Structure 1
Amino acid sequence: MIRSADIREWRNHDVVDLKGRKIGGLEAVYVDTTTDEPAMATVRTGLPTRQRLVFVPLDEAIVGPGYVRVPYDKGTVRKCPSIGTDDVLAAEEEEAVFHHYGMAYQPGAGGERKLARR
């Protein structure tokens, strides 16, 4: 299991897919609000003048020297719902991110968010 403190050290390092192809740079970590464990990361993708942040789950990520390898192909990650580089993921858009990866989405009992940026 990757801990929040560990993964924060990898900001701006490459995020690569299973084949080692670069997806983008790790920008931020989002934790599951019920467990406070790392759940998703945002990856900076796009051209230098037109970048966006896409989400990728960290549940099976492997940290190596200078990279974080995720168990998804580059195309799948890049097609995930995204936000602008200065934007925040809206609570009503969280479910779409989970569904993109075929993951179950369950907000808190009082409708609380599932993800929080750390």
Structure 2
Amino acid sequence: MITQEQIHDLIGHTLYDSDGDRVGEVKTVYLDDATGDPEWLTVKTGWFGMHESFVPLRAVRMIGDRAEAGFGKSQIMDAPRIDVEAGGRLSEQEERELYRYYGVEWGDGRRQPLVPEQPVGPDARMDASTTEDAMTRSEEHLRVGTERYESGHARLRKYVVTTEEQVTVPVTHEEVRIEREPITDANREAAMSGQDITEAEHEVTLHAERAVVETEAVPVERVRLAKEEVTEDETVSGQVRKERVEADGDVDGEPDGTDRW
């Protein structure tokens, strides 16, 4: 168990889970309002430690200078989100919800809410920002960054389609026509070489061309996938908390007449 003497050393310390993985930095320790015993701690989780998760102190052990919780990191990060304002307390219902989530019995008659914002002592929240003669006022700022994740996939796939294509090609063919040649001195001898009167036939073979279609595969282009980075502005928002300090008694205020900073 964490002792009173170890509480101050625990704040700002790194908390590890049951598997030895880093969970985050311990932000705050809460004491039970009825007994003054340390009861809960909050650890910074989420992106850049923007959230705080509650962990029951009874499940935290100091092994040398290393603080280890008896739960896994994912279980701690998924714990119910409870936003306790500065000076606020855990309600009984909130505390019951946390006990139920972690499977810890309520028991021991604990019914009083925990006090998170008092000077160090019984029923107090232990915070490293408090000293004997001064109080440090802190506030949260948004720390925004980026993370890389898979947003999609692209692939090339080649498939075959069949289309109809028309090409005009000239074709030739032979036709028969009758040519009549008069008898002249030049062809008289050839004309008189046969019989005078007879029957005869003469046959001519005709030729024609027809279109013939063949296909051949021809490379036409190379296709590849190329990635390029496009930068655009994206606006994000988040809630931040600021501590306020009020002075009671005979204290000179700010120039505007207030005693709040």
Q: CA deviation at 1:74?
A: 0.7
Match of 1:4 in 2: 4
Provide, for residues 65-91 of structure 1, a one-character-per-residue CA deviation record: whole Å limited to 9, x for no partner: 553101111111111112358665541
Task: Tell me the alpha carbon deviations over residues 14-68 of structure 1, each in whole angstroms, 9 at most, x when there is no partner.
Answer: 11011110111100111222321111110011112x6111011111322245531
CA distance in 2, matches of 1:69, 1:28: 16
Counterpart-to-counterpart distance in 1, 2:66 and 2:75? 18
Structure 1 or 2: more strand by fraction? 1
Given that 2:90 and 2:115 are in contact with CA atoms closer than 8 Å, whether structure 1 keeps it comes out as: no
The residue that corresponds to 2:159 in the other structure is: none
Could you tell me how far apart the structure 2 residues matched to 1:35 and 1:107 are?
A: 9
The residue number in structure 2 matching 1:80 is: 79
Distance in 2, matches of 1:12 and 1:42, equals: 10
Structure 2 spans left out of the alignment, 5+ residues = 117-124, 126-261
Superposition RMSD in Å: 2.3
- Given that 2:30 and 2:39 are in contact with CA atoms closer than 8 Å, whether structure 1 keeps it comes out as yes
The separation in 1 between residues aligned to 2:65 and 2:85, in whole angstroms, is 25
In 2, Cα distance between equivalents of 1:45 and 1:20: 16
- Specify whether residues 45 and 66 from structure 1 end up closer, same or farther in structure 2 by C-alpha distance, changes over 3 A only: farther
SS in 2 for 1:39: strand
Confirm whether residue 19 of structure 1 aligns to residue 19 of structure 2: yes
Matched, 1:67 2:66: yes
| Cα distance in 2 between the residues matched to 1:64 and 1:90 | 28
TM-score computed with the length of structure 1 as normaliser? 0.78
SS at match of 1:9: helix
Match of 1:47 in 2: 47
For the 8 Å contact 2:12–2:27, the answer to whether it is kept is: yes
Higher relative contact order (CA 8 A, sep 6+): 1
Partners in 1 of 2:102 and 2:18 — Cα distance? 15
Preserved contact between residue 46 and residue 77 of structure 2 (Cα < 8 Å): no
2:35 maps to what in 1? 35
- Greater share of helix: 1
Counterpart in the other structure of 2:97: 96
Q: Which has the larger radius of gyration?
A: 2
Amino acid at match of 1:57: P
> How many pairs are equivalent?
113
